[in-house]
Amino acid sequence: METLKLLILTVFFRPYVFAFLAIYLYAASRNIGPRKAVLFTFIAWTVAYISEFSSVRNGFPFGLYYYIPSTKNKELWIFGVPFMDSLSFTFLSYSSWQTARVFLPREEKFSWRIILLGAFLMTLLDVVIDPLALRGDRWFLGKIYYYPYPGPYFGVTIENFAGWFFVGALTMRIWKWVDAWQDVGKLSNKINELNPSGKADLLGPALYFIVLLFNLSMTFWIGEIKLGLTGVALFLPVTTVFLSRVKRLSIS
């Protein structure tokens, strides 16, 4: 009962996380089907949770950091890791994968180029997310973690970004195996079926940019102008190329 109570408290304490999660579940259910959406959620959360559980103990793969258990009575924690933190990787990895598919629409949906690009896009998103999260005491996230040895990028370590790339690529690679197993005897694991019409499903990429805008907005809101402008500069070329791909897909 205590776990259920904390889970309910988590929803009200972190409504923005569950709003992103709801958009993701709707997008994934339409694009890959409800059953696969549930499987993807389980896989992405499991990979993220194991990675975070490991990192706060031995530093792999995100580098060494520590969670501050100041919200343990307000939200669900699982063996020292906030549930909402590892849960976020579900919609971050899915939206990054779908965004990569828009950049490379003629690629097989799990080609190495799409997996690597998806992992890169997820890592690039974290370049905005983690420095803001590190300053959580200045907005409604709260101070939930710290690095014993702060890194060079606004306090975030390079190991953290390497870990995000690793987790993103691993999640997508595992999903490739599971998706192929689910589609034994079908052609859908051999071609890039973005949807039956052949055009890209843009709900996943839309979520990617919604998460980006949310984090950039919070960055400027807390007065981190340099950090915010750095994020804008990094994403300006990405957004420009993405919009050109969407325009090309819409007229093809």
- The confidence score (pLDDT) of residue 186 equals 54
- Contact 16/139 with Cβ under 8 angstroms? no
Q: Do 199 and 249 touch, CB atoms closer than 8 A?
A: yes
pLDDT confidence of residue 251: 58
Among candidates 15, 34, 16, which has minimal Cα distance to 26? 34
In a domain, 173, yes or no: yes
Containing domain of residue 97, as a range? Answer: 2-217
Residues forming a β-bridge with 155 = 151
Query: What does each of the 252 residues of the chain score in pLDDT, given as a tens digit?
Result: 788 888 888 998 999 999 999 999 999 999 999 999 999 999 999 999 999 999 999 999 999 999 999 888 899 999 999 999 999 999 999 999 999 999 998 888 889 999 999 999 999 999 999 999 999 999 999 999 999 999 999 999 999 999 999 999 999 999 999 988 876 545 444 434 444 333 447 899 999 999 999 999 999 999 999 999 999 999 999 999 999 999 887 755
In a domain, 195, yes or no: yes
pTM assigned to the model: 0.91
State the pLDDT at residue 106. 86
Asked whether residue 140 is assigned to any structural domain, the reply reads: yes
Give the separation between CA 126 and CA 167, rounded to whole angstroms.
12
Q: What whole-number distance in Å separates Cα of residue 124 and Cα of residue 142?
A: 23
Between β-strands 81-82 and 77-78, what pairing exists: parallel, antiparallel or unpaired?
A: antiparallel
**3-state DSSP call for residue 249?**
helix
Q: Per residue, what are the HEC states of 51-85? A: HHHHHHHHCCCCCCCEECHHHCCCCCEECCEEHHH
Q: How many other CB atoms are there within 10 angstroms of residue 82's CB atom?
A: 23
Is the dihedral angle over the CA atoms 122, 125, 130, 131 positive or is it negative?
positive
Task: Examine residue 18 and state whether it is found in any structural domain, yes or no.
Answer: yes
CB 105 within 8 A of CB 200: yes
CA dihedral over 181, 182, 185, 189, signed as positive or negative: negative
Within a domain: 133: yes
What pLDDT score does 1 carry?
Answer: 73
- Rounded Cα gap, residues 28 and 130, in angstroms: 25
The whole-number pLDDT of residue 201 equals 75
Residue 221: other Cβ atoms inside 10 A: 12
Alpha helices in the chain (DSSP H): 2-13, 15-32, 34-58, 83-103, 112-134, 158-182, 203-221, 225-251
The CA–CA distances, whole Å, from 217 to 112, 142, 210, 214 equal: 33, 17, 10, 5
Residue 36 belongs to a domain: yes
Number of independent structural domains in the chain: 1
Task: Give the type of residue at 6.
Answer: L
